[in-house]
Structure formats: structure tokens, C-alpha cells
Chain A
Amino acid sequence: RLTEFHNLQELRQSASLANKVFIQRDYSEGTVCKFHTKLPSELDSRIEKTLFEDTVKTLNNYYAEAEKIGGHAYLEGCLACITAYLIFLCMETRYEKVLKKISRYIQEQNEKIYAPRGLLITDPIERGMRVIEISIYEDRSSSGSSTSSSTTSSSGR
């Protein structure tokens, strides 16, 4: 059931938070920042698989670019070492530049793709780069949340 919102403003005004989904980190290639691209089941009905995968893959590419060990990184590192790392005081590192790009990209994705579908992506940097948090919103006028499956069992252990 797709709830239509036309933009983020409308989302804020008329929707209520129903659930949050967390996309975990993919450590198969080491400690580089990379997220799983598999669409979680809660979002199946909300967004097309390809769109979601594209978003996550683009984010992964951005992080790979930030953490790339190449000529530019060596230069930055050596220069920093020679100045006793004092250039970090004055200079914005490449990583920070890429993080800004990521922030803009997520904002853009939210506005164009996710908000119209009642979803909101939180920048991973706000969650310690551990998860991509996707908030699912329901139209306030619609009945209840999509995950009200709870039969809560008491602590009978």
C-alpha cells in the first residue's frame, strides 16, 4: 500500500512515524564503509527494488571514494606528517568533502524519491556510520501502523 506524499513538507505535516528499518554494514571486504544492498522486507511494498539498490550502491561508491588509498591520499598523508599534522587544523580533508557530497545526495534522494513514498533516509554519519536508518511514515488518516503485529508475550522466563 503506497501512501502518496508530494514532498517532504507534506510528509512532515500529515504523516506519523510508523516504523524504522536499519540497513546494516557489509563487512565482507573488510572495514571499509559499505552497506548491504538487499531491500528489506518491510520496504517491499513501498519502493522499487532497483531504486533502493541504486541509492545504496551510490552511497557505497561515495564511501569507497572517501576511503580510497591512492596517490592523492598518500600526498595528503605525507604532507600532513611533515607538518606534524597541523594542516588538519586548516584544511578540510577529502573525507569531509565526500561526506558533504553524501549529505547533499541523501537530501536530494529524500526529496525526489523517498518522501513521495513516505520514507525518509537518515544520513549514516548521524548513526555512527553503522546503519542506514530508513523511517517509514504512514498517512495520519490511515489506520494504524503497518507493523502492528505485536502480540507481546510477557516475560515468562
Chain B
Amino acid sequence: MKNCEYQQIDPLALGTPASTPTSTQCAKNKSHRPRRKWEVFPGRNRFYCDGRIIVARQCGVLPLTLGLIVVTSVLFFIFDCPFLVTHLTICIPVVAGVLFLFVVITLLQTSFTDPGILPRALPEEVTNTERQIDNSGSVTYRPPPRTKEIIINGEVVKLKYCFTCKMFRPPRTSHCSLCDNCVERFDHHCPWVGNCVGKRNYRFFYTFIVSLSFLTSFILGCVITHLTLRSQGDKGFLQALQESPLVVCFFSIWSTLGLSGFHTYLVASNLTTNEDIKGSWSTKRGEESGNPYSYNGIFRNCCAVLCGPMPPSLIDRRGFLPPDVIPRTVASGSELHPFMAKNDTNMCTQAPKKLLETVAHSSLVHSTCTSATPKTALVTQEFPFNSVSSMLSPSNTTQHPMDKACCQRGNNSKGPPYSLSHSPLICSKVPDVSFVPLLLLC
């Protein structure tokens, strides 16, 4: 076997009809149980519930986010609601309860939904991309030029070649280095949510931060009301303060409101955080006249982003692997590769009967699984708290103090006072960006 970066489907490894490969462990496993595609997924993700739930390997501080929300809300319900119900109205806990449910459900949906991961190119596609025929008619294989220019709605857009996924990235797609996946309409990788935010889960993320802003504002308002009413009575102000989740809400409200405002602006102009930070489309200061994806209307943009059709998951996590083909997609983590010569016939001609069976089988498998796969995208909303809590270290050691959060919920117990800043942890190649003041952008 040649020493090459690409793990080609070796025709010999496919085996002849008569023999059964017993030497490899993979083959043994396959003969016992058909494997699902999530088991051989090349990106850095974890799967639960047999592929129904997908999270980034670096879950960031999702347990902390969830914990803060739950604890704050529970404290509010325990300490503030009884007083407010007797003094004001029963609507208060009802509204808070609805908001709380919204927040938790959308948070878990954001974390557990496939953000729009693009599957890596298969070997034949890679070969096709790399095949270049020079003047003398000889065929060579080498990595294509790094960028390719296309015109979208009159604007010139550069498509970059992703060396990990071995394909030209579609427009608005970016490669997340934390998850090691190309994600469509990549917004940013959110450590608080523990997942990338992309095409498929942006609306969940937006609903999450908006409802979280409402929840924190509501709790803050109620608690201040509570304190005001109570301080008119016997107890002192300080004592009352200790009983309430005021502090958490006070610190988080600025960041959540600010973040919601920022993302409302992004939604209205049909931009991603990635594009906004990079300044991809702003020709003049503050103008996005160059955005080719905008529908040139705030309402239309909002509807397109938030109410648009829900695209399907492209990675088919729960589909079965064809039993005879050893799953060899392109290797991850490969950087520049030396020039390689490959034989055309080796590339494309395979053991005839085996491949035809594979093709026939895979189209069969896909059609039988099609009824199953839509549900997989839908069933991501199961949230087993056991797996959430076992999920991993809350601290992400690679975070800089600057990039501490994308939605800075306020970790007041840890120290430095809050700044009105928002610096999402962006994985594509953005130079060290200093704080982007939210207010300037709203």
C-alpha cells in the first residue's frame, strides 16, 4: 500500500466473492453487526443515543450554562414567586415558567442538533478534483489551487479549498477547528452551548438568546419589585438581597441583551458572525451594501433566516455502512501533501461485481433508511440529563480571557467585572480580534 495521505478504497481489500477477510478486526465486527455511519464519523464529535444526539467533542461550558439557568430560575421560583404571587399576580411564575422552558428546550436543541456539517469528500470525488490534465495530455494528481472565484449575484466570492475535508467549501461555509468539520453558514463555535452554530441550528440559537434575555430581564424586574416591596417592610435591604438571584441576572442581562441585539442585527442583514467580524461585505463603514445573500429588506431577511425551510442533516448519522466496503474517507488533519502520481485505472476501476453490489445495496439502504433518517434529525431534542452531566470538563483550557464567551452570561463568582464586549470563539482564520463593542453594532 502506497504511503499516501488519502486512504483510498483498496480494490484488493474489498475481497473477492469467495473469500471472507478474517484478518481484520473491522471485517469481523461487520460480519456480526452492521455499523452505523456515526461510528466512523471523522470529525471531532460525540454521539449519544445511537447517533441521534450529536455534540462537539469540546462541549465547553454547556453544563455550566444549563446549571446557571436552572439554579437561578429555581431560586427565583422558590424565594421570589411566593411573595410576588401573594402580593401581585399568579401570572408571574406562569410567564417565568414558560420562558424557562423555552430557554432550556432551545438551548438543548442548539447543543444537540447537527449545525450543518458537510460530509467529507469521498476518494473518487477527491481524485476528480485533483485530476489535472496538462498540455501534453498526461494526467497528474495534485491538490487544486487554494481558492476559486465565482460570481454570486454580481459579487465576486472566493471559495476556499479545505485541505481537511478535501473539497471546495460552498459559500458561507467555514471549517471549525474545534470540531474539525466544515459547517454550512458557519456563524461561530459557541462554548456556552458546546456546539457550532450554523445553518441548521441558528434559529434555535437565536430563540435561545432572545428568550434568555427575556427571562433574565423578567427575573430581574420581578426581583427588584420583590426587593422594593419587601424593603418597605421589616427586613433590611441587605438581607433580602442574599435571598435572591438578583446578582446573577444583573450581570448576565447586559451580555444577553447585547448579544440578542447583535444577532438581531445579523439576522436583519442576513450576515453571519463570521462574515461580520471579518468585514467580508462592508465596503464602507457600517454598510453592507456588498452582501450578495441579502434579500434587501429587513423583514425578508428575518423571515429567510428564521422561518426558512429546515434543511436536512447531510451526515446521515444513523445510516448503515455498506457491509462490504471498508469505510475510508479522506484522512483528517492532513496538511500540505507531496505531489502524488496515481494511476487512472487504479482510481476508478474496482472489482466489478462487488462495487455494483455496493452501489445497488447503498441505494437500497438509503431508500430504506430514508424513512428513518428524517426522524434522526428530529429526535435530537431528547435531552437525557445523565449524558449532559457526564459530558465533560466545564473549563475549556484553550480559551483566552478575551474569548471567554460568545454570550457572556456572567460568571460573577469568578471575578473580573463585566465588560460590554462580545468576542465569539471563531474558529476560522480570523486574526486576533479585539473586543467588538456590541453597542456600536446595534
Contacts and interface: CB of A to CB of B under 8 A. Distances in A.
Interface stretch (B132-140, B246-254, B279-287): B132-140
Interface residues of B, number: 73
B326 interface: no
A155 B352 contact: no
Nearest to A140: B352
Contacts of A122: 359, 363
A120 interface: yes
A85 B348 contact: no
A116 to B, nearest CB: 16
Contacts of B304: 69
A66 B309 contact: yes
Contact of B293 (A13, A15, A30, A90): A30
Contact of B308 (A21, A30, A77): A77
A104 to B, nearest CB: 9
Contacts of B350: 17
Contacts of A131: 125
B312 to A, nearest CB: 6
Contacts of B137: 149, 151
B102 A84 contact: yes
Interface stretch (A45-53, A54-62, A91-99): A91-99
A88 to B, nearest CB: 5
Contacts of A13: 356
Contacts of B101: 84
B303 interface: yes
Given A20-B128, A90-B378, A129-B314, A67 B308 contact: yes
B125 A153 contact: no
Contacts of B306: 77, 81
A130 B310 contact: no
B105 interface: yes
Contacts of B184: 31
A103 B370 contact: yes
Contacts of A77: 203, 303, 306-308
22 contacts: A12-B359, A16-B349, A22-B125, A27-B157, A28-B152, A28-B153, A29-B152, A29-B153, A30-B152, A31-B170, A68-B309, A76-B307, A81-B203, A93-B309, A95-B309, A96-B374, A103-B370, A145-B349, A147-B344, A147-B348, A151-B137, A154-B341
Interface of B: 101-102, 105-106, 109, 118-119, 121-122, 124-125, 128, 137-140, 150-153, 157, 159, 167, 170-172, 184-185, 203-204, 207, 292-293, 300, 303-304, 306-312, 314-316, 338-345, 348-350, 352, 355-357, 359-360, 362-363, 366-367, 370, 374, 377-379, 381
Interface of A: 8, 11-13, 15-22, 25, 27-31, 66-69, 73-74, 76-78, 80-81, 84-86, 88-96, 99-100, 103, 107, 120, 122-123, 125-131, 133, 135, 140, 145, 147-155, 157
